[in-house]
Amino acid sequence: MIELSLHLLDIAQNSIVAGAKTIGITIVEDTETDTLSIEITDDGKGMPPEVLAGVMDPYTTSRTTRKVGLGLPLLNDACKSTGGKLSIDSELGKGTEVLATLGLTHIDRQPLGDMAGVIVMLITANPLIRFIYTHTKNGNEYKLDTLEVNEVLDGMPINTPQVGKMLKEMISSNLEEL
């Protein structure tokens, strides 16, 4: 993976597969502590302790199509190479929290990439999931909650190309202003 937004897409996919109804995506960029953190929380089925214990190991996977799971180990590597780390907390029947911390200005830190594009992709591909995306840069916050977007849309589906385009422009311009 070359961009953090693509890691995010992959990790959020785990939440979707786990049956999450609400997915929180929280990004914090902080110059003072020189950290960039990405947190993905979900209310999906969670992991039993034995799966959680081995989840950084590429040979832990519940998928049947290939024998190795790479999403979490790859993000773990991306964090570690910048002096950061990946922590995962999960409770069966409750949900999962994945927190990636990276060195913001570390030379090996991958760029965020197309965050707006990835968020819109997640939203439009999963119209029944509530996404709460918060992006904070040095204390300035932008928040997008699809529950509120759906209220404004007033019955119009969120997964149309027009709404997708509008959301992408809205997120991009709000991120630029942070």
Ligand X SMILES: Nc1ncnc2c1ncn2[C@@H]1O[C@H](COP(=O)(O)OP(=O)(O)O)[C@@H](O)[C@H]1O
Sites of contact with ligand X (CB under 6 A): 14-15, 18, 42, 44-47, 51, 55, 60-63, 69-73, 96
- Residue 43 Cβ vs ligand X, minimum distance, rounded to whole Å: 10
The first and second tokens of residue 11, run together, are: 């990790």
Interface positions, 10-39, toward Mg ion (CB under 5 A):
14
71 sits near Mg ion (criterion: CB under 5 A):
yes
Query: 29 forms bridges with which residues in the sheet?
Result: 36, 137
- Residue 108 Cβ vs ligand X, minimum distance, rounded to whole Å: 21
**Which residue, 14 or 126, has its beta carbon nearer to Mg ion?**
14
Q: How far is CA 52 from CA 7, 47, 92, 162, in A?
A: 19, 6, 10, 40
Rounded to whole angstroms, the Cα distance separating 158 from 178 reads: 25
Query: Could you say which of Mg ion, ligand X, none residue 60 binds, taking C-beta under 5 to 8 angstroms by partner kind?
Result: ligand X
Rounded to whole angstroms, the Cα distance separating 131 from 32 reads: 28
Q: Which residues of this chain interact with Mg ion, rule CB under 5 A?
A: 14, 71
